[in-house]
Amino acid sequence: MQNNINISQLCISNPKESNSYSRIYIADPEKKFLEKFGKLAILISIHFKGVLENDTLSHTKEWIQNFIDFTSSNFYKTLRTGSEIEKEFEDLLQSLNKWLAKEKVQASELFEKYIDELDIEVIALKNTTVYFATIGEIKTYLLSGTSEGKLQKLSAGKNKATKFSNLMSGSLEKDNVLLFASPNLFDYFSTKKIIQVFQVQPLKNAMHEIKQLLSDDLDRINILFLAISHRDESLIVQSPEDEFNQKEPDKEKISVEVDKEKEPEEEILPTIISRSTHLAKTFITIGQKVLAVLTKIFQKIKKLSTQKRPLKLRAPRKIKTHGIMWQKTLFIILIIFGFLFVISIIILGSQEYKAQQKREYAQTIQKLKDIESELSIALIYEDESNLQTLLTQMKQLLNSLPQVTKEQKQTYELLYTKYSTTLHKFYRITTIDEPTLLIDLGEQYKNIDPSGMTNLFNNFYIFDGSNNYIYRFNVETEETEMVNNTSANVGRLQKLAPLDNDILIGYDQNQGIATFNTIDAKLEPVKLTRQHDISEITDLSLYNGRLYVLESSQNQIYKYSKTIDGFGKEEIWVKDGTNIADTLSFTIDGSIYVLKKSSDIYKFFRNNRVAFELDDIKPALSTTDPNIITLKGNIKLFTTADMKYLYLLDGPTNRLIKLLKDGKLIKQFTSPQFNNLIDFLVSRNENTAWLLNGTKIYEISL
């Protein structure tokens, strides 16, 4: 049964005009986290001293994001039970108070010089119960569901301390609405108007009307407003305009089910184990005593039965068998008790083994709890060394967790999700679940086997090295056509790159240079005048109209100038003796960057190697795997003189890596849809990347 809980919010923030900055955060966790922990919401408003500067605003936004990240990661701790939400929310507030105290020291300049007032509201919603705590002046009101309507103020006076001191909670009754608002809301609206707006229409429409009523002041005010209702909003009578506004699905509407499966109380389990163990021990003690008595009796009977007596002649009589039967009975009883004794030993051993397993499991869970808390702090302060250690420990502990029962499997799944999320944050990995698919060339050209791609403006050129067919795809019109299906005197193409606005240039497997004129659709070889023995071309690049050719086997990059019929005037470019014999790819922006098999990137400027320190990229680049190096075609570096970043495609691990040009890792992009990355392009403004994955071209935002 759905609880008909609805949440809607309105945040209007104009820092330059109001000298304040506000933000509302409503968590959107996975369903399993939502059902277990509930919904988290945070309202933050910061009022500044003096004139607001851009740097101050930037630092403030970063600080607010850190606060949100810390709060969210602690609230959605996978090791929380979710069964004692009030106590857990109190623990969260204590953690926030400690964090804020530390921040006042760490970010003392921000707090002392720039922040005048700090207003924060932290709200947790589990089923129909709401928990909230305030710093500053954010007000809370309850709008009852009665026909006459009544707006009751719930929050106390201003909390002047920069810590959470009072926790309020309660069950939101049916047809009631809980409102959280900055105090200046009632500078613009009367109590009667707020009641009227929120009683007669769904929350989302009500927020829309509030915004419309504020339209004249939108460019200069700073307002926070969040509403939570417990009602079936589909039954609220709406005007035709309201119904029109509701055509879009309400993404903020939530339905929370009661968590029926609670984790067992930790105190019960040791008691059950203790009682079972005590019974087993008692039974063994009794069995041992009975067994000892029966053994003595059996020995006496056996002794009497075998005792020699004088031979006397007596009259014939019937033989009595009760002595023999008694011996057999005792023997059977002895066997039964012996069997029960063994069973008791087994039961005791089993109970002790299970108890030990339970203890070890509980200890492992506690260790994971501790690591999870440390990870939250290490992430915020970007303590990479500690993060690496903690993640390694967490992975080892996860590997040791049993996954036999349903509860154990669920616990493992939650823990692993937390581990994976933290790992991705640490490694700066952005996973794109559904990248935009622009085209699947395989649907139109059945036998196509793309080897790479390049572009001239909006036209993408995809080539198939097996037959040198070239296809053109226009990213705006989404039209595709084959522009070349001949290959006279040109070997299998290995790469194509723009030479000018009309011509592409590349090299083939015979180490020859070829051009493709996009105007007359002509692919032909080009003369390259070499002064050295021909060897294998590893990569080529263009810069300022000159051709640069990387020949790893020659440990050299050669530069060629344009001639009438091709390229000549060969020059040796690397002149400082740096070893680049194991290089896979290179790119030029005035400096030259080369990617080595060791996963190092060397930077050269004016023919000499210069300082460049690449961040430790995790997971490790595929270049270090000897079984993957043969697939060097889809391991590529790229940048231009106009670009701020350096890009590295690691095809075998299906990711695109974004770096600053000093080697600092910015982000890694991957997707479940990426399974055969071959090549990529980046837009001039560096907002977008296009990736050739098999026969498909995907678009992602950078």
Label residue 110 by pLDDT band (50, 70, 90): confident
Whether residue 619 is preceded by a cis peptide bond, meaning omega within 30 degrees of 0, is: yes
Tell me if the domain spanning 5-254 has CATH number 3.90.1150.10. no
- Cα–Cα distance between 469 and 467 in angstroms, integer? 5
In this prediction the pTM is 0.54
pLDDT (average), residues 554-558: 95
Task: For residue 603, give Cα distances in angstroms to 534, 580, 585, 610, 659.
Answer: 26, 11, 12, 6, 13
Look at residue 291 in the predicted model and tell me its pLDDT: 57
pLDDT (average), residues 47-69: 85
Phi, psi (rounded to 5 degrees) for 381: -95, 5
Label residue 406 by pLDDT band (50, 70, 90): confident
The per-residue pLDDT for range 453-492, each reduced to its tens digit, is: 999 999 999 999 999 999 999 999 999 999 999 888 999 9
Q: Give the 3-state secondary structure of residue 677.
A: strand
- Per-chain mean pLDDT for the chain: 82
pLDDT (average), residues 264-269: 35
Label residue 245 by pLDDT band (50, 70, 90): very low
Length of the chain measured in residues? 702
pLDDT (average), residues 363-389: 78
- Cα–Cα distance between 223 and 68 in angstroms, integer? 19
Residue 595: Cβ-neighbour burial (10 angstroms; 0-12, 13-18, 19+): buried
Among 459, 444, 460, which Cα is nearest to 679's? 460
Exposed e or buried b per residue across 19-55, where buried means at least 16 C-beta atoms within 10 angstroms of its C-beta: bbbbbbbbbebeeebbbbbbbbbbbbbbbbeeebeee
pLDDT (average), residues 586-613: 94
Q: Is the pLDDT of residue 261 over 50?
A: no
Q: Is the pLDDT of residue 281 over 80?
A: no
Residues 681 and 455 sit within 8 Å (Cβ to Cβ): yes
Selected residue with higher pLDDT from 70 and 372: 70
436-701 CATH, one of 1.10.357.10, 2.120.10.30, 3.20.20.80, 3.40.50.880: 2.120.10.30
Look at residue 447 in the predicted model and tell me its pLDDT: 92
Label residue 34 by pLDDT band (50, 70, 90): confident
Residue 75's DSSP bridge partners are: none
Q: Tell me the CB-side half-sphere exposure of residue 122, using CA atoms within 13 A.
A: 25
The per-residue pLDDT for range 292-306, each reduced to its tens digit, is: 665 665 566 555 555
- Cα–Cα distance between 209 and 477 in angstroms, integer? 40
Look at residue 335 in the predicted model and tell me its pLDDT: 80
Q: Is the pLDDT of residue 264 over 50?
A: no
Residue 252: Cβ-neighbour burial (10 angstroms; 0-12, 13-18, 19+): middle
Q: Is the pLDDT of residue 427 over 90?
A: no
Label residue 627 by pLDDT band (50, 70, 90): low
Q: Is the pLDDT of residue 549 over 90?
A: yes
Look at residue 300 in the predicted model and tell me its pLDDT: 60
Label residue 307 by pLDDT band (50, 70, 90): low
Look at residue 249 in the predicted model and tell me its pLDDT: 38
Look at residue 312 in the predicted model and tell me its pLDDT: 45
- Cα–Cα distance between 571 and 531 in angstroms, integer? 9
383-387, 429-433, 578-582, 670-674: lowest mean pLDDT where? Answer: 383-387
3-state SS, 113-171, equals HHEEEEEEEEEEEECCEEEEEEEECCEEEEECCCCCCCEEECCCCCECCCCCCCEEEEE
Task: For residue 137, give Cα distances in angstroms to 46, 140, 227, 262, 638.
Answer: 11, 10, 17, 37, 51
The per-residue pLDDT for range 508-547, each reduced to its tens digit, is: 999 999 999 999 999 999 999 998 887 889 999 999 999 9
Label residue 418 by pLDDT band (50, 70, 90): confident
